[in-house]
């Protein structure tokens, strides 16, 4: 079984980010980044997203995907990572 460098280092690979999260970031919120450059360690701050942008992300996810994100999603801050958001997406109902 082959591993990527990120997996060998114990870090999630890009493919481990939920595709709906990546789509919301790049399409709905119009974050100017190549999706292949996103990783679980990417911070929202590095994507130039502030607290208001994060709330927009949560609302858009709930409306467009028909999910309810856990309370921890409201705790996301600009210093949070996409990995933190991915965990919130996995825990959505």
pLDDT the model gives residue 84: 93
- 43 near 79, Cβ under 8 Å? yes
Taking the C-alpha atoms of residue 26 and residue 21, their distance in angstroms, rounded to an integer, is 9
Delimit the domains of the chain by residue range.
Answer: 15-32+41-90
* Residue 1: exposure state from Cβ atoms within 10 A (0-12, 13-18, ≥19): exposed
pLDDT the model gives residue 70: 82
pLDDT the model gives residue 23: 92
- Domain 15-32+41-90 adopts which CATH fold? 1.10.1200
Residues of the chain whose pLDDT is less than 50? 1-14
């Amino acid at each position: 079984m082959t591993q990527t460098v990120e997996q060998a280092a114990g870090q999630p690979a890009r493919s481990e980010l939920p595709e709906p999260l990546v789509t919301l970031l790049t399409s709905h919120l119009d974050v100017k980044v190549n999706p292949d450059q996103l990783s679980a360690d990417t911070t929202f701050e590095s994507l130039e997203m502030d607290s208001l942008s994060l709330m927009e992300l949560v609302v858009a996810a709930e409306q467009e995907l028909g999910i309810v994100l856990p309370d921890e999603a409201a705790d996301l801050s600009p210093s949070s990572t996409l990995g933190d958001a991915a965990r919130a997406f996995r825990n959505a109902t």
